[in-house]
Structure 1
């Protein structure tokens, strides 16, 4: 955990340094007054928001903001989930599947709770697998809504930048004899393209990559839970349940089997 925290601090320091270099390069190329063009900003922001609001529901847009926040501050905890399913397998072995009813009521993770309900209802493993895979597909579709919003922003931002450029050129040609207006329209035209590219390549695309990683982590957690619950339904040993979930993690993230449960280990030896 300490190493992970240190890695985050190093990553944050690198990001801040690169942002400073980017800002320095922009300010060194053009003046701050020329960069902050209100007309160009209005075209880009209004165009993006109008397109997004027309294309997506407000629930999807609010969900996108929440998912972006979660991708930064919510860490998918595979360790707790694997140990929890492992403990569940031990309890089912000892006391039977009906003993997990109280655990179902207390479980906060929605996917695990739904899987436990299926297990408690004595459904066949084949039927459970089909239901859980359909549940994962549905959850994947919902998670990708936020990704699709950012994908659209990345796609349309350069286009609205080009529209701002064209409008600036039209204004320039319409006022060809007025020097002040020519300079203002030229600045607006060029900065619009810059705004569009910055929003697409330095905001939308990086956030898309972050959300994609967060979605993949969620899907992996659902798959781990599915594997564990199906093995429990097949009356597999607790050790096999743990190992088959554990190997789904990256090699450097795999867990150590909790060998302190001597009684459990002895029972599994008798089963083999």
Structure 2
């Protein structure tokens, strides 16, 4: 679990609460009509912007922000080197027996294409198309959070304008102007808080996760094509390690590649 999402939201709420209690009372910042305008308006605009088949997946989108990717890039590189050793010792057809041990569908598909004798260029095209579709699906999911993040401040301003209109209609009572102005500004406060603490940061995290997954898929393609070309596992290892930070390159794949060369 990527607990930083939860920590960030809780910490943000705590700091805002601390700031409120240091200058005022919490009850002064609670106004149900303002909250309804922001949340209700955001939900309404979101429903207008997306079809039902996208809307029903919103729970999965939020869940993905606190879920780690199933595989790390170093684990994938290690697995590819293992497959390279098998192919070098026993031939490409021997990889078919290893397919059942591969948990990732993308890598499994690539191995099966190689075992079936598919042309390398066609293998590359098929897998790159899969990556393009993956990135597009991720972008659609991320756009929902981005739209929510843009709608919250917008409806916060709408609520403020509603409050200002009501306030201006009662200028004959000067004592009501201050409290009315405070209530009017609460919708802007709610909108900014939801947008900048929840929706926009979550959209950014999904973008990072998507980029990481695309990178892992590209590593798989590079490794699979190298295996299909019959390259030495040591060479494959060095080619794939360039995708890793220098600090972790020494810990990945060395044992597996050495076992083949020994």
TM normalised by structure 1 equals 0.83
The answer on 1:173 being equivalent to 2:168 is: yes
Tell me what 1:155 maps to: 150
CA distance in 2, matches of 1:245, 1:141: 25
Tell me what 1:89 maps to: 84
**How far off is 1:25 after superposition?**
1.1
Indicate the SS of the match to 1:235. coil
CA distance in 1, matches of 2:156, 2:28: 16
The answer on 1:233 being equivalent to 2:228 is: yes
- Kindly provide the CA deviation profile for residues 8-45 of structure 1, in whole angstroms up to 9, marking residues without a partner as x: 89x98888666533321123334312211101000000
Could you say if the C-alpha distance between residues 64 and 117 of structure 1 is closer, same or farther in structure 2, counting changes exceeding 3 Å? farther
The answer on 1:42 being equivalent to 2:36 is: yes
Tell me what 1:23 maps to: 17
Report the number of matched residues.
259
Runs of at least 5 residues in structure 1 that lack an aligned partner in the other structure: 267-272
**How far off is 1:70 after superposition?**
3.2
Tell me what 1:210 maps to: 205
Moved more, 46-55 or 256-265: 256-265
CA distance in 2, matches of 1:43, 1:13: 27
Work out whether residues 89 and 238 of structure 1, in 8 Å CA contact, stay in contact via their aligned partners in 2: yes
Could you say if the C-alpha distance between residues 140 and 54 of structure 1 is closer, same or farther in structure 2, counting changes exceeding 3 Å? same
TM normalised by structure 2 equals 0.86
**Which of the numbers 213, 221, 224 marks the counterpart of 2:216?**
221
Work out whether residues 39 and 188 of structure 1, in 8 Å CA contact, stay in contact via their aligned partners in 2: no
Could you say if the C-alpha distance between residues 27 and 212 of structure 1 is closer, same or farther in structure 2, counting changes exceeding 3 Å? same
The answer on 1:244 being equivalent to 2:256 is: no
Query: Which one has more relative contact order, counting CA pairs under 8 Å at least 6 apart?
Result: 2
Could you say if the C-alpha distance between residues 63 and 87 of structure 1 is closer, same or farther in structure 2, counting changes exceeding 3 Å? farther
CA distance in 2, matches of 1:44, 1:201: 14
Q: What does 1:188-207 correspond to in 2, within 5 Å? A: 188-207=183-202
Runs of at least 5 residues in structure 2 that lack an aligned partner in the other structure: none
Moved more, 50-59 or 256-265: 256-265
The answer on 1:141 being equivalent to 2:164 is: no
Work out whether residues 61 and 146 of structure 1, in 8 Å CA contact, stay in contact via their aligned partners in 2: no
CA distance in 2, matches of 1:179, 1:138: 60
Report the aligned-residue RMSD.
2.9
The answer on 1:72 being equivalent to 2:66 is: yes
